[in-house]
A and B are shown apart, each in its own frame.
Chain A
Amino acid sequence: MITRSAHEMAAAMVAEEVTSEKLTQDHFDRIAEVDADVHAFLYLDHEGALAQARAVDIARANGEKVGPLAGVPLALKDVMVQKGIPTTAGSKILEGWRPPYDATVVTKLKNAGIVILGKTNMDEFAMGSSTENSAYGPTHNPWDLTRIPGGSGGGSSAALAAFEAPLAIGTDTGGSIRQPAAVTGTVGVKPTYGGVSRYGLIAFSSSLDQAGPCARTVLDAALLHEVMAGHDPKDATSINAPVPQVVHAAKNGNVKGVKIGYVKELNGEGYQAGVRSRFEESLELLARAGAEIVEVSCPNFEYALASYYLIAPSECSSNLARFDAMRYGMRVGDEDGVSAELVMNLTREVGFGREVKRRVILGTYALSSGYYGAYYGSAQKVRTLIIEDFTKAFANVDVLVSPTTPTTAFKIGDKVDDPLAMYLNDIATIPVNMAGIGGMSLPCGLAPEDGLPVGFQIMAPAMQDQRLYSVGAALEAELLTKWGAPLLSRIPALGGAK
């Protein structure tokens, strides 16, 4: 049962083949079996999850109306606050903190009857592409435990690929949902900015951060998307408009007459051969299914990475000022005669990891008097140019596509001492965040040279997220026909292998 999709699990509960309590316990058993190797989870909430599962089972038995994902287990990225449940965002500075409130996304999950198993590992404050920046140790890719599961949401993607949960929540500031999905052979969607509430999402870069669904199928992602999304008065940047019809789109995947542009600048040099060949095969499948494929040039995308690594650190240097050792979290050096400022400095020295410090310092520099215009100001102008590239492209095509990442999963430790090499992982995912539009990654095969998953990225204009699902479901169906079974059926067995 645990290898099925979320909507199949839900159907099995409706058909009374299984209870949510049994399903939840089966997932905890699987976690107990494999998570010592994978390390996807930072915290497990056995008691709360089983209580929620039993409540859904009782409601169903009483004939009460429950949501389409009621009783289905989910893994929650540790950047989302959940009342009473330890929430660290992968940082030592929040070790042991139990939030006094729920994020809006968490409230929506609970109201939908979804069972939250626990909190997943991540790069500290979502800064990273490998989960190696977690203060609690890295997560391992279930396809090859010596490799990274992507980041920052590597815990969520690994949990899906290891069959520890059928659904997960991620957040995506520069690719933190899509890149982990790509390297683990799972599906991840970054909705349009403002489509999902950021209330209770621990902020990294507020103009870029967006929570979204992670799953093993396009339809499962759509079902979760619909639960999470919608206007929230508690988030001033939340869009007050109806949620795009993503479930309908996922159930009716179709590319007949759809114009698909592949981005010239997001392919070629720097992209692994097997990534390119799998991507190009998918383009052929889409063409055969009736799509019109054209080449599109977005010349300013080559400046996106540089712009991102000014904007995101600038915003994080401001956002992370809240970790001041005064109201919650860690406090170091609080002795008689030691000033509040020194306590703050000492706490942040111990509480923050290397990458977080690097970005806070970089952001502080980019925003400082005398350098603001040259760095942060220029980066904001590049953001305008990237948005213009997208606007021009979407005047001619319905969606844009590219490989999600330039390479498959690399070895743990390989890039940890080279920040610039690490940043390159997000080269194809960052433009979407800069423009605030929606993006999806879905698995499109294994690279022949290393046998590791490759991700196919789809990008759609703002508030047109249904196009991601329509095209994604069509490609998924074509690939399934070609393969005969889902890609994850080829993942090596975990547990007891040691």
Chain B
Amino acid sequence: MTTLSRSDVANLARLARIEMTDSELDHLATEMDVILNAVARVQEVATPDIKPTSHPVPISNVARPDVVVPSLTPEQALSGAPSKEDGRFRVPQILGEE
């Protein structure tokens, strides 16, 4: 029986980059317990001898010739930006103050 606490879910929310209120965390912790106990059924048949499948089609390393092809213009690429400056994406502060 898996049980997740509010702080477990808070840690997952931090990893997933989603801000959550305490009541959201409590609600989600309860829901996660129910869902995790249902999906844990996979462990009943997943024995060590079975190979995992990550993808239905076995293909790898699909490449194209290394030539320049038409792509978005800078204006097109920036067209949906929430904020832009001098032909570039403007983003909030990434590093702490030195």
- Other-chain contact of B53, A329, A345, A365, A383 (Cβ < 8 Å): A383
- Which residue, B50, B56, B93, has most C-beta atoms of chain A within 10 A? B56
Least CB separation from A334: chain B residue: B92
Q: How far is the CA of A239 from the CA of B62 in the complex (A)?
A: 11
Q: How far is the CA of A300 from the CA of B44 in the complex (A)?
A: 11
- Other-chain contact of A380, B20, B52, B64 (Cβ < 8 Å): B52
A328 within 8 A of partner (CB):
yes
Chain B residues with Cβ below 8 Å from A358 are: 28, 31-32, 35
B18 adjacent to A357 (CB under 8 Å): yes
- Which residue, B18, B38, B91, B94, has most C-beta atoms of chain A within 10 A? B18
Which of A107-115, A303-311, A470-478 lies at the interface?
A303-311
Once A236-B59, A306-B38 are accepted as A-B contacts, the answer to whether A361 and B28 lie under 8 Å apart by CB is: yes
- Other-chain contact of B19, A339, A346, A379 (Cβ < 8 Å): A346
Nearest chain A CB to B56 CB, angstrom units: 2
Q: Mark A183-195, 1 if CB is under 8 A from B, else 0.
A: 0000000000110
Q: How many A-B residue pairs have CB under 8 A?
A: 173
Which of A71-79, A250-258, A370-378 lies at the interface?
A370-378
Chain A residues with Cβ below 8 Å from B82 are: 325-326, 328-331, 334
Which residues of chain B from 51 to 74 have any CB-CB distance to chain A below 8 Å in the complex?
A: 51-57, 59, 62, 64, 72
Once A98-B80, A300-B45, A334-B82 are accepted as A-B contacts, the answer to whether A384 and B52 lie under 8 Å apart by CB is: yes
Which residues of chain A from 360 to 397 have any CB-CB distance to chain B below 8 Å in the complex?
A: 360-362, 364-365, 368, 374-375, 377-385, 387
B39 adjacent to A306 (CB under 8 Å): yes
B23 within 8 A of partner (CB):
no
Chain A contributes a number of interface residues (CB within 8 A of B) equal to 69
A15 within 8 A of partner (CB):
no
Once A339-B93, A379-B42 are accepted as A-B contacts, the answer to whether A349 and B19 lie under 8 Å apart by CB is: yes
Once A101-B72, A194-B57, A348-B18 are accepted as A-B contacts, the answer to whether A365 and B36 lie under 8 Å apart by CB is: yes
9 contacts between A and B (CB under 8 A): A100-B79, A236-B62, A328-B80, A334-B83, A349-B18, A357-B20, A361-B9, A368-B15, A420-B34
Binding site for A on B (CB under 8 A): 4, 9, 12-13, 15-20, 24, 28, 31-32, 34-36, 38-47, 50-57, 59, 62, 64, 72, 76-77, 79-83, 89, 91-94, 96
Contacts A236-B59, A331-B82, A380-B52 supplied; 15 other A-B pairs, CB < 8 Å: A100-B77, A207-B55, A237-B57, A303-B45, A306-B41, A306-B42, A309-B35, A358-B35, A360-B18, A377-B52, A378-B43, A379-B42, A381-B47, A384-B53, A385-B50
